Amino acid sequence: MNIKRKEMIKRYKWLVGVMVITLATFSCKKDLLDIKPIDFVSDAAVFQDITLTNQFVNDIYGSLLSGFERRDFGYDQDWARGFATLDMMTDDIEGHNDLPMNRVQAGDLNSNFSMGTQLWAVNYSLIRKANTLIARIDQVPTTNTALRDRLKAETKFLRAFAYADLVKSFGGVPLIITEQSVTDDLEVPRNTYDECVAFIIKECDEAAAVLLPSYPDAADLGRATKGAALALKARVLLYHASPLNNPNNTLSRWDDAAKAAQQVMTLAPATYDIHPDYYQLFMTKAGNKEVIFAKKFGRPNRTHQSAHMLHMSFSPNTWGAWGAFHATQNLVDAFEMKTTGLRPDENGSGYDPQNPYANRDTRLDKAMLMNGSAFKGITVGTFQSADLKVFPDGNANDRTNGDRTKTGYGLRKFIDDKNMTADAVYQGGDNDWIYMRYAEVLLNYAEAKNEFSGPDGSVYDALDKVRARGGLPPLPRNFTQGALQTKIRNERRVELCFEEHRVYDVRRWKQGMTYFNQPVYRMNIIKNTDGSLTYSKVVLENRVYQEKFNLFPIPQIERERNRKLTPNP
């Protein structure tokens, strides 16, 4: 290193620092800010690829709202999902003490009714997805046009299904069938009930024309079928013909409803039939010919909470059930005597008030737990001890258990006993929520046909097919039209109990003031010191109903956001 070079270094050594800094500062990447998302796909991509479109349709199925997912504590509060059901508004069920539902039972069905808001919000969310799909699917490039047509038809069914749910709850609702933009006028007024029904029927017909009665691939079980579209149409037409919506009793409406139901019945027995076991009906997923359309559940990812929230609470309580569900004596009294086919309160029924569960419609035992029921090796005791020194309280009525039975009855239907273990209960249940099943179609037919033209052989046959599963004898063929109406209505109550039919059936029959404005009863059982049991039916509480409750109130928060919505009375 010569002197001169050393001098140079000495003089300009500071330049090294400058170089370092410059390099550090400007060695930037040009595309630093060009970051692409990795965990979602864009809007455009979904409608460029039929596989992705198909996955969007999967999501629409996932949006279906079932009776296992009601939220009574605020429509967006997920923690209490499935703690209550809509049927807790009826004379069939008493719910948990903590439920806001108690307010409804006491006559306060107001516009803040959380399950009504949830029903509104969830269905409109599904409708928006469906609107998007229906508007754009025709442009999806694919050679599999059959799949594309099928997906569109399935989605049309799902949208009609959501509207049917809204219409039976609220009457006419805003009929939104295009994909709204944020800049549109979002304050859409209500369409009339008839406009909504006409739309649903049209969509059902269009879907039924494309869809097959069943899917060849078992992996597609649960998708909408031709039968589902026809059954939905039959149900909507039955509501359309009912007193609430048909004040002049236009008979042709009943005729339309009966014919629509009959269309489904033509698919039996190839596609549809009655499941032989009333309990297994709700557990069987594959090969269950009674199911027409259901919300599918599956472990571990899509489960419901009925197993621990609704199931009866025993002590020692090894599976931590909350005991939120208590069937009423009113409902138990609707189950007929097996031998006579008569209700306990009818003359000559053969009912023994001190042995009330003997010789009953076998569906009673499959739907409910009561004193003496066997469940997973335990005998349920709903009695209270006359003297605790002689006998302890029944295991479902333990005085130290806050979740003890309120009525003497718990839920068995829907409760999958294989999940009722300490380990499994909190993982949730995975039996499906059945929206439409063949027995309902038969009952829809029987009701519509009887209303249209009175009892005939086809009506009795339909009823007998349903009743036979409960071990009941065939009906005598001598009913008047009015007497058969009563019988059919009772049959719907029993056969479809807890499936959220009663809450709507009583309303559409305009019978709310009869059934929902009266006391509900519980069964009080005292275990005497000699071991014998004394049964007495006592009032649990008074229920309050008003005629205006026949439609749910339009949600308050929606009325605050959409000033064009007229309230329900």
Partner 1 sequence: MKRIRLLIVLLVCSFALQEAFAQSLTVSGVVKDKTGQEVPGVSVIIKGTTTGVSTTADGKYSITVPKAGTTLVFSFIGMTTQEVLVTKSETVNITLDDAANTLNDVVVVGFGTQKRSNVTGSVATVNNKQLVQTPVGDLSNALAGRTPGVITKQPSGEPGADGTQIFIRGNSTFGGGSMEPLFVIDGIVRSGRDFGQMDPNEIESVSILKDASSAAIFGVKGANGVVLVTTKRGKAGQLSANYSFNYGFSQVTRLPDALGSYEYATLYNEAKLNDNPLATPEYSLERLEAFRNGTDPDANPNTNWMDLVLGGTAPRMQHNLSLSGGSEKVKYFTSFGYLNEDGLYSSLNYNRYNVRSNVDIQATSTTKISIDLSGRLENKLSPPANIDNIFEHTMRNPPVQPARFSNGLLAAPGVYPNPLALISEESGYNRNSANYFMSNFQVVQQIPGVEGLSIKGVLAFDRNFNHNKTWNQWVPLYARSATGEYTINSQSKSSLSKGYGEGQSTELQGHINYDRRFGKHGISALALVLQKQNQGTGIYGARNSYESSALQILNFGPALNEVLSDGEDKTALRSAAFRVNYDFDGKYLFQASLRRDESENFAPNERVGYFPAFSAGWLITKESFMQNAKFVDFLKVKASYGTLGSDRIPSRFGYYNRYNLVPNVYPFGGTFVTGLTPGAIANENLTWETSIKMDAGIEAKFFKNQLGIDVTVFKERRKDILATRALSVPLSFGAALPSENFGIVDNRGVEVILTHNKQISNNLSYFIGGNFTYAKNKIVEAAEASNIPDYRKITGRPNGGIYGYKAVGIFRDAADYAAFPKHTAYASTTGPGDIKYEDVNGDGIIDDNDITYLGNGSLPQVLYGINGGVNFKGFELNFLLQGAAQSQQLFTQNAAWAFHNGGRVNAEWLDRWTPARPDAPLPRLTLNTNGNNYLTSSFWTQNSSYLRLKNVEFAYTLKTKLLSKIGANNLRFYAQGQNLFTITDLINLDPENTNGIGRYYPQQKTYTFGVNLQF
Residue 197: CB minimum distance to partner 1, A: 18
Residue 235 corresponds to which tokens in the numbers above? 């149900």
| Rg over CA atoms, the chain | 29
CA–CA gap between residue 430 and residue 247 (Å, rounded): 41
Residue number, 265 or 520, with CB nearest to partner 1: 520
Q: State the minimum distance, in angstroms, from the CB of residue 108 to partner 1.
A: 4
Rounded to the nearest whole angstrom, what is the least distance from the CB of residue 101 to partner 1 in the complex? Answer: 10
Strand segments (E) across 337-494: 368-369, 374-375, 378-379, 384-385, 410-411, 433-437
The torsion defined by the Cα of 555, 561, 565 and 567, in degrees rounded to 10, comes to 40
**At its nearest, how many Å lie between partner 1 and the CB of residue 177?**
12
- Residue 155 C-beta: closest distance to partner 1, Å: 14
Find the shortest distance in angstroms from Cβ 196 to partner 1.
13
| Alpha-carbon distances, residue 483 vs 93, 453, 477, 488, 489 (angstroms) | 26, 14, 11, 9, 10
Angle, CA 237 vertex, CA 149 and CA 293 arms, to 5°: 50
**Closer residue to partner 1 in complex, CB, 120/272:** 120
**Locate tokens 């959380």: which residue?**
114
Residue whose CB is less far from partner 1, 17 or 141 = 17
Q: Judge contact between 193 and 174, C-beta under 8 A.
A: no
Minimum distance, C-beta of residue 252 to partner 1, in the bound complex (Å): 32
Q: Nearer to partner 1 by C-beta: 217 or 530?
A: 217
Asked if residues 140 and 522 have their Cβ atoms less than 8 Å apart, the reply is no
Encoded tokens for 208: 């039924």
- What are the residue ranges of helices labelled H in 454-499? 457-467, 481-495
Q: How far apart are CA 169 and CA 286, in angstroms?
A: 31
Instruction: Provide the pairing of β-strand 520-527 with 384-385.
Output: parallel
| For partner 1, the closer CB: 221 or 268 | 221
State the nearest-atom distance from the C-beta of 167 to partner 1, in Å: 14
Asked if 343 and 349 touch (Cβ cutoff 8 Å), the reply is yes
Rounded to whole angstroms, the Cα distance separating 508 from 503 reads: 9
* Residue 92 Cβ vs partner 1, minimum distance, rounded to whole Å: 21
CB closer to partner 1 out of 358 and 388: 388
Other CB atoms within 10 Å distance of the CB of residue 338? 17
Residue 302 DSSP one-character state: B
Smallest separation, CB 47 to partner 1 (Å): 10
Q: Which is nearer to partner 1, 497 or 525 (CB)?
A: 525
Q: How many CA atoms are closer than 13 Å to the CA of 145, on its beta-carbon side?
A: 2
Please identify, using beta-carbon distances, which residue of 311 and 469 lies nearer to partner 1: 311
CB contact at 8 A, 520 and 328? yes
Based on CB atoms, which residue is closest to partner 1, 84 or 462? Answer: 84
List, in sequence order, every residue forming a beta bridge with 433; answer none if it has no partner: 295
Q: Which is nearer to partner 1, 339 or 529 (CB)?
A: 529
Q: Minimum distance between the CB of residue 133 and partner 1, rounded to whole angstroms?
A: 10
- CA angle in degrees (0–180, nearest 5) for 324-327-330: 150
Rounded to whole angstroms, the Cα distance separating 412 from 431 reads 13
- Identify which of residues 133 and 443 has a Cβ nearer to partner 1 in the complex: 133
